[in-house]
Structure 1
Amino acid sequence: MTATGTHDTGELLRYACRQAGLDADGAEPIRLGENAIFRLPGGIVARISRPGQQDAARREVRIAQWLADHDIPAVRALDGLDQPVQAYGRAVTFWHELPDHHNGTPGQVAQILRRLHELPLTEGHPFSDLDPFVRLDERITAATSLTEDDRAWLRQHLATMRDRYEHLPVGLPHTVLHGDAWVGNVAATNEGQVVLLDLERASIGPPEWDLVSTAIKHTSFAWISADEYRDFCHRYGHDVTTWDGFEVLRDIRELRMTCYLAQHAAENPNARSEAALRVACLRGKHGSRPWSWSPAS
């Protein structure tokens, strides 16, 4: 299995399961990336975080409970277990597996975001303020498949975006955010329930941050149709592209998508041409949007 420091994920998983009193026999990998995710017997999912994420994992478990207490359908942490479990310096959390499901539609994303954004902020909530630039410095440094000129440009572009974000125009009132709201993080079960996944970036901030993720799927990349985007806006009740701050959040989202892929391209040769294309687009070398980006797997 994938190595994680001096221990592979299988060893980490078995150690964490022993501490939690769970059975790791027959565990099946769901996704092995920055966070390794496994399916365990008994309808349980284990998530092994990247190093140094103990506090973030603990907060994600608290957020899942807070959302459950406020009737927002989202992934649920395993009950009756002190989480996260520590395994060789990694945080491991355990979750209830969803029933059979598929990615949500843009309209379903809009509906669940509207519910989320309407929540009142109760005292003692577990959310921190949105940081739209989290890990971008680290990702640019790790993007060794890019030319040094491209990496220097990305660093300068990041500094420019930080300044633009400081002067973001006034928009909708700040709310609870999912933080990474797109169809891949919204599941629709075969029974018709729509559920939020991946609560790692949940925070407090401008709701436009959640809305722009779907908007750019249409305006920047043409991954969804005009009809799908109109349905998204109708179901949510607002079109973020009409807001004066849209281009700022759009540009930050595109930068995040580029830096994510560029970091992984350092270890995955198949992603290198796509990473270089994305940087070239941001640098104005491929004309106006929509650009011919390929969705990251």
Structure 2
Amino acid sequence: MTDTTSTEVAARDALDVAGRHAGLDPVGAELIRLGENALFRLQSGVIARVTRTGQFAAAAREVALARWLEANDVSAVRAWPDVEQPVEVDGRAVTWWWELPPHKEGTALQVAVALRRLHDLPLPSFDVGRLDPFVRLADRIERATTLEDEDRLWMRRHLAVLEARYANLPDGLPECVVHGDAWIGNVVSTGDGEVVLLDLERCSVGPPEWDLTSTAVRAFTMGRITAEEYDRFARAYGYDVTAWAGFEVLRDIREFRMTCMAAQVAAENPARQDEIMLRLACLRGERGPRPWSWTPVP
């Protein structure tokens, strides 16, 4: 049994138990995506999300935030009503959501508008926690079993350098509720033109520049949107994060997060080993200046 297969089996086992607990039938559930979380579509049209182990608190916060955003008329994924959630099964958290209508990946401009609306909200009355740009990175490095020991040692040292740089981040915009993982794939557009925020598990209080950096990285690290698209993004939001003194710190952290994610994926799917080695080479300065040709991983 491959690591990917075993991951799906464990997620389905958790889904079966949680479904019985919630009164939602998981029989015949269709796997939509197997990445950081496992997403399933139940025959009833409910979307079930099964986390990796140790993510119950984050899942509970995500449900609370979804309901808070709905109450504040911010378009985001909606938690399924009238069920107790999350449900914890063998350390995994299972949550339930309304299925989105047909949709496509949002544009940089749509991301800017969605983030402006989110960042303008007053802080909620409940604790959403503080942004942790380094959450789970040490664990991902340790689990990167397809890497040589010297590569993981370099990653641990690089993580320590980034943590020290972040501790001395210069002042910027006022802190607010941030999405936490505001890349273009987490903002979608439905057929009727509604722009919807997805994946709220990293929402927290922190510098809004963290959210803005994701689109800047997409433009200037990965080259996946043009400079003109980025300029429209910055003008629509009303701020160009690349002109801020702390931008390079957040950019480097975001790039390292993407690299650690690739390491985690490669550990479960060795076919992605070339991608993690490419990203490491880029961060070490062995592949020239940005933009770099990184292939997205799940």
Same fold per TM (> 0.5)?
A: yes
**Which residue in the other structure is 2:82 paired with?**
80
Q: Which amino acid aligns with 2:68?
A: W
- C-alpha RMSD of matched pairs (Å): 1.5
The answer to whether the 8 Å contact 1:67/1:73 transfers is yes
Distance in 2 separating the partners of 1:126 and 1:186: 24
Q: Aligned ranges for residues 108-127 of structure 1 at < 5 Å? A: 108-122=110-124, 124-127=125-128
**Which residue in the other structure is 2:37 paired with?**
35
CA-CA distance at 1:218 after TM superposition: 1.1
Distance in 1 separating the partners of 2:10 and 2:157: 36
The answer to whether the 8 Å contact 2:58/2:202 transfers is no
Residues matched between the structures, number: 295
2:52 is the alignment partner of 1:50:
yes
Structure 1, residues 108-156: CA drift from partner, whole Å, max 9, x if none? 000000000001114x234110000001111111112222222111111
TM-score for the superposition, normalised by structure 2: 0.95
**Which residue in the other structure is 1:217 paired with?**
218
Q: Which amino acid aligns with 1:152?
A: L
**Which residue in the other structure is 1:285 paired with?**
286
Q: Which amino acid aligns with 1:90?
A: R
The answer to whether the 8 Å contact 2:265/2:297 transfers is no
Q: Which amino acid aligns with 1:75?
A: V
**Which residue in the other structure is 1:64 paired with?**
66
Distance in 1 separating the partners of 2:7 and 2:263: 20
CA-CA distance at 1:274 after TM superposition: 1.0
The answer to whether the 8 Å contact 1:62/1:126 transfers is no
CA-CA distance at 1:4 after TM superposition: 4.4
2:3 is the alignment partner of 1:3:
no
Q: Aligned ranges for residues 112-261 of structure 1 at < 5 Å? A: 112-122=114-124, 124-261=125-262
The answer to whether the 8 Å contact 1:2/1:9 transfers is no
Distance in 1 separating the partners of 2:292 and 2:101: 36
> Comparing 151-160 with 246-255, which one deviates more in the overlay?
151-160
**Which residue in the other structure is 1:96 paired with?**
98
